Chain A
Amino acid sequence: MTSLTKLTLKAALDGLADKSFSSQELTEAHVEAVAAAKPLNAFVLETPEKAIEMAKASDARRAKGEAGVLDGAPLGIKDLFCTEGVRSTACSNILGNFIPTYESTVTANLWRDGAVMLGKLNLDEFAMGSSNETSAFGPVINPWRSEGSNAKLTPGGSSGGSAASVAADLCLGATATDTGGSIRQPAAFTGTVGIKPTYGRCSRWGVVAFASSLDQAGPIAKTVEDAAILLKSMSGHDAKDSTSLDIDVPDFPSFVGKSVKGLRVGIPKEYRVDGMPAEIEKLWEQGIAWLKEAGCEIVEVSLPHTKYALPAYYIVAPAEASSNLARYDGMRFGLREEGANLTETYENTRAAGFGPEVKRRILIGTYVLSAGYYDAYYLKALKVRRRIADDFDQAFEKVDALLTPTAPSAAFGLGENADDPVAMYLNDIFTVTVNLAGLPGMSIPAGVDVNGLPLGLQLIGKALDEGTLFSLGGAIEKAADFKAKPAKWW
């Protein structure tokens, strides 16, 4: 029944509802696909027995007429979400064999609605990376390859396992997180849809923290409608996260397919960066043309502080990370490397447990927060962050949403940017502004480059206005009619 893995989430839910197949059949097909996809290295832990058990329970609920909105749908879970009784590592050696005794709120919401867990997905260590190469489990391999080449490409990061597994039809959808672009850039690199909602929409409780004022969960999915279905289930107020928004969750799927006639879409001129490939420029123009044809009014806008977003991010995020990751001290959970005294035990534990990129970011964070540098770096970055958020506020006085490319290139080869941290950081140039301002952003597959690799367009919305993004995203998806799939080689 391999064809069951080709279904969209929506089609699978419809098939379950009209009893064309059972959740057990649907889940078994996906379990087989996961087991056969080891060369992608997308899963760091497969939970086939748990999946079948959950599927059987789902079939029983459906027989009693008690099926939830995601009932019986097999999903992949980024290994940054704590799952009760199931090893959760953040793909770091310091969490080693950590088995949570609690469930993250986002995954609990998915199980409440009946979803089935296939396993835990690979990511950059603590979500710090743009290529999945910092994972303690080794990089995920992108199911996409350049035409006529067998070279291994990155699926992007940090949610590389989530994006690759959705692109390769290993799961119907996946959870992901986005601190600087970690949902949208991998979605663009794999021809999938990814949305980072407004900060505060999804609870951060039970999600391993990286930079708490920027981290936000969201789905990676096969279609805009699938993303809407998943985000609706994942969202909602949670008293356990003090930054969780106490507001109603809109019916996101109802926005997909709505007319976008009369919507004003802004084109930020500062996003035309030097050295951007002509194909990405062309795709952007194409996206503008599609939205015009759909009846949108296109307006040029200015976000003058755009170029300062990445440097500000690389102060704010490491500063918060250095504080958040102080908890990994080898005392209460995770790895412990003994030393001659307490301080040495801390130092040995953290030296052995963290990978090079995580250490680099902790050192930068510690440096910018240290005495004498706090005002010059950290406080300055927070002021620049305000300027960036103000830019968006001013633009949104004139427009309903913004259209930009998602990433400055298509998927690149593994190892290509590994020697230069700053070159790697530039991957997030179009996505990171959204995290700093707390806004929703979505990547939609819109075309392929000369090598046949997928490219994405990004929509940025006003705070809490994911609905408009789903309408516009649906319009782009319809116009782009992106049907390309990676040729199976794994």
Chain B
Amino acid sequence: MAIDAATVRKVARLARIAEPEEKLEQLASELNGIMTWIEQLSEVDTDGVEPMTSAVHMPAPMREDVVTEGGDASKVLSNAPKTVDGFFVVPKVVE
């Protein structure tokens, strides 16, 4: 299925990336080029094949649910774009 400008607009919205209207056609054509090349995967018979989600042949390790680090707000905030009194400052989330 071909990706059109409307699809790019929707996907960019989902990805939270502002893409200007005038760039949507060009992006659609680039993404179509890549997805068309990817379509060849449909030639592979994958009936009954388990999806491979990890390259590690071991179960995920469990650990004690304890605090190991923390308690240093200044470190956590040191790269924040905006802070006040030891808090992150973010745009209003609830209208």
Interface of A toward B, CB cutoff 8 Å: 98-99, 101, 199-200, 213-214, 239, 242-243, 245-246, 305, 307-308, 311-312, 314-315, 322, 326, 329-336, 338-339, 341-348, 350-351, 354, 359-360, 362-367, 370, 377, 379-387, 389, 420-422, 436-438, 463
Say whether A421 contacts B30, CB under 8 Å: yes
15 intermolecular pairs with C-beta atoms under 8 Å apart? A308-B40, A311-B39, A331-B90, A342-B92, A347-B16, A347-B18, A359-B19, A363-B27, A364-B35, A380-B42, A381-B41, A384-B41, A385-B51, A389-B55, A436-B52
Say whether A366 contacts B79, CB under 8 Å: no
Q: Give me the 5 closest cross-chain CB pairs, A-B, nearest first.
A: A438-B55, A382-B51, A333-B79, A383-B46, A347-B18
Contact of A242 among B35, B61, B92 (CB under 8 A): B61
Q: Which residues of B contact A383 (CB under 8 A)?
A: 44, 46, 49-52
Closest to A439 in B: B55
Q: Which residues of A contact B13 (CB under 8 A)?
A: 347
A350-B17, A384-B44, A386-B51 given as contacts; is B34 within 8 A of A331 (CB)?
Answer: no
Interface size on B, residues (CB 8 A): 52
B38 in contact (CB, < 8 A): yes
Q: Can you add 7 more A-B contacts, CB < 8 Å, to A367-B31, A387-B49?
A: A308-B41, A311-B38, A314-B38, A315-B41, A334-B79, A383-B52, A436-B55
Cα distance A343–B58 in the bound complex, in angstroms: 39
Say whether A336 contacts B82, CB under 8 Å: yes
Cα distance A335–B40 in the bound complex, in angstroms: 38
A245-B58, A330-B81, A335-B81 given as contacts; is B38 within 8 A of A377 (CB)?
Answer: yes
Of listed B30, B40, B43, B91, residue having the most chain A CB within 10 A:
B91
Cα distance A427–B67 in the bound complex, in angstroms: 44
Closest CB of chain A to B32's CB: distance in Å?
Answer: 11
Contact of A342 among B51, B79, B82, B91 (CB under 8 A): B91
B14 in contact (CB, < 8 A): yes
Closest CB of chain A to B50's CB: distance in Å?
Answer: 6
Closest to A437 in B: B55
Of listed A334, A336, A384, residue having the most chain B CB within 10 A:
A384
A199-B55, A336-B81 given as contacts; is B41 within 8 A of A380 (CB)?
Answer: yes
Closest CB of chain B to A361's CB: distance in Å?
Answer: 9
Interface string of B1-42 (1 = CB under 8 A from A): 001000110011111111100000001001101110111111
B93 in contact (CB, < 8 A): yes
Say whether A387 contacts B44, CB under 8 Å: yes
Q: Which residues of A contact B27 (CB under 8 A)?
A: 360, 363
Closest CB of chain A to B53's CB: distance in Å?
Answer: 6
Closest to B3 in A: A367
Say whether B31 contacts A389, CB under 8 Å: no
Say whether B11 contacts A342, CB under 8 Å: no
Say whether A332 contacts B38, CB under 8 Å: no
Contact of B15 among A314, A322, A420, A438 (CB under 8 A): A322
Cα distance A437–B54 in the bound complex, in angstroms: 9
Closest to B57 in A: A463
Q: Which residues of B contact A363 (CB under 8 A)?
A: 8, 11-12, 15, 17, 27, 31
B60-80 residues at the A interface, CB under 8 angstroms: 60-61, 63, 75-76, 78-80
A350-B18, A367-B3, A367-B31 given as contacts; is B51 within 8 A of A379 (CB)?
Answer: yes
Q: Which residues of A contact B17 (CB under 8 A)?
A: 347, 350-351, 354, 359, 362-363
B84 in contact (CB, < 8 A): no
A382-B51, A387-B46 given as contacts; is B18 within 8 A of A101 (CB)?
Answer: no
Q: Which residues of A contact B88 (CB under 8 A)?
A: 331-332
Q: Which residues of A contact B12 (CB under 8 A)?
A: 363
Cα distance A351–B82 in the bound complex, in angstroms: 19
Q: Which residues of B contact A245 (CB under 8 A)?
A: 56, 58
Say whether A367 contacts B81, CB under 8 Å: no
Cα distance A342–B88 in the bound complex, in angstroms: 14
Cα distance A21–B53 in the bound complex, in angstroms: 50
Closest CB of chain B to A96's CB: distance in Å?
Answer: 9
Say whether B55 contacts A308, CB under 8 Å: no
Say whether A246 contacts B18, CB under 8 Å: no
Closest CB of chain B to A379's CB: distance in Å?
Answer: 6
Say whether B14 contacts A370, CB under 8 Å: yes
